[in-house]
Amino acid sequence: MATSFFKDVTLIIKKYCTSLPEYEDESTGIRPNHEVTFQLKKSVEIQENDKAEYSYFVTHILRHFRPEADDCNFFAHILLLFAAEKHSLYYIYTALSKPVDLPGIYQFTAMAQLDDIQIDYYNSREQRKIPKQTWMKEKLYEDYWEEGTQSRKSKEHWFNVNIDILMKRMRHSESDLHVFQMRTGCEVERWGSEEKFSKGVYEYGYDGENFLSFDDSGSLQFTQLYQPRVNIPFLNQYTKGYLGKNCVDWLKKFTEYGENELRNGSPPDVHMFAKRSTSDKIKLTCMVTSFYPKDTVLFIRKYRTSLPEDETESTGIRPNQDGAFQLCKSVEIQENEKANYDCFVAHRTLKEPIITKWGN
């Protein structure tokens, strides 16, 4: 098993120093961890008395750089992995089957998020599409907001009609609360002047279960809850065109409008603290907060060597209320070992890594 690496790695199981063919082993494929690193596992069934003759071989861009030997050199190569500028634009719609008497909860809400920052908002009480960032208000004229308001009102009506249809189809009672949601958007990567469409999302959900989604092959997938009456190839073509062209065009415009705020970023604050877990052990936690953009690297290290992913607990990257993010990792350790641990943090806003030692 290889873990805590940045994507693109080679893992080979060998017998007598000879690589096993792919069809003889099982692979999980490269999977994401809770933050921006990845893991890969390969397995092979062998005779018990053969086990000493097997080995594994791993290659990776950072494999020959040892963070314990040269923190700054290691950090420089991590920054290469942040070289791609990533941007995303998502629209999120939520409709409830009936009003609820709770503050801040409306029967219909809609919002746009650029790089995880809310840039506009609409709800069924005010029924106005409003800017949530100063630069959105400054760059876009009143006509844009008026047209956007009319569009959101139309969507509100469409959601109200269709949540009733879904409830009838599911034979759900009108006295119960049900939720109908939609998320659509796109992501791009930029390397210098080159830009590449990397992901499109188009999905509907009812009471937390997706019933229509746009998969990686570029096709819409449906469950029995929803079967469209329109021509499916046409719907596929329309969805691909919207995500790959219309959505990306707006993403470029919004990114240009908010360029200063989006590019400047916010460096992370790093904290290290402990809490007693048993009579002789403590839970040591590294907390990174107030950083933007979202991607960051956090290692808990012992004697300047990163602990494996399966030895630590991670919250995953979570949003703060101010649009920045936080990430915590923890490990249970012997109390008398605490001076040997530190937190290693890398982020695109930093010129050098932040290393916080336990006890400082």
Residue 47 confidence (pLDDT): 75
Residue 27 confidence (pLDDT): 80
Does 32 sit behind a cis peptide bond, omega within 30 degrees of 0 on the bond before it?
no
Residue 120 confidence (pLDDT): 98
CA dist., res. 276 & res. 284, Å (int)? 9
Q: What tokens does 314 get?
A: 């991670």
Alpha helices in 43-141 (DSSP H): 71-81, 134-139
CATH domain 2-64 topology: Immunoglobulin-like (2.60.40)
Where are any strands of DSSP class E within 6-84? 9-15, 18-19, 26-27, 31-32, 38-40, 42-43, 54-60
* Domain 85-263, CATH number (from 3.30.500.10, 3.30.930.10, 3.40.50.1390, 3.30.1330.20): 3.30.500.10
Residue 128 confidence (pLDDT): 98
Given this chain, do its domains 2-64 and 265-357 carry the same CATH topology? Answer: yes
Residue 338 confidence (pLDDT): 61
Q: What is the DSSP string of 160-224?
A: HHHHHHHHHHHT--TTS--EEEEEEEEEEEEETTEEEEEEEEEEEEETTEEEEEE-TTS-EEE-T
CATH class of segment(s) 265-357: mainly beta
Q: What are the tens digits of pLDDT across the range 53-95?
A: 677 666 554 443 344 445 555 555 555 555 567 899 999 999 9
- In degrees, rounded to 5, the angle at the alpha carbon of residue 252 between the alpha carbons of residues 136 and 319 is 65
Contact yes or no for 350/292 (Cβ under 8 A): no
Residue 81 confidence (pLDDT): 53
Residue 254 confidence (pLDDT): 96
Q: What are the tens digits of pLDDT across the range 15-42?
A: 765 667 777 778 877 776 655 566 778 8
Regions of the chain short of the pLDDT cut 50? 61-69
**What's 201-216 look like in SS3?**
EEEEEECCEEEEEECC
In the chain, where the domains are located: 2-64, 85-263, 265-357
Residue 248 confidence (pLDDT): 95
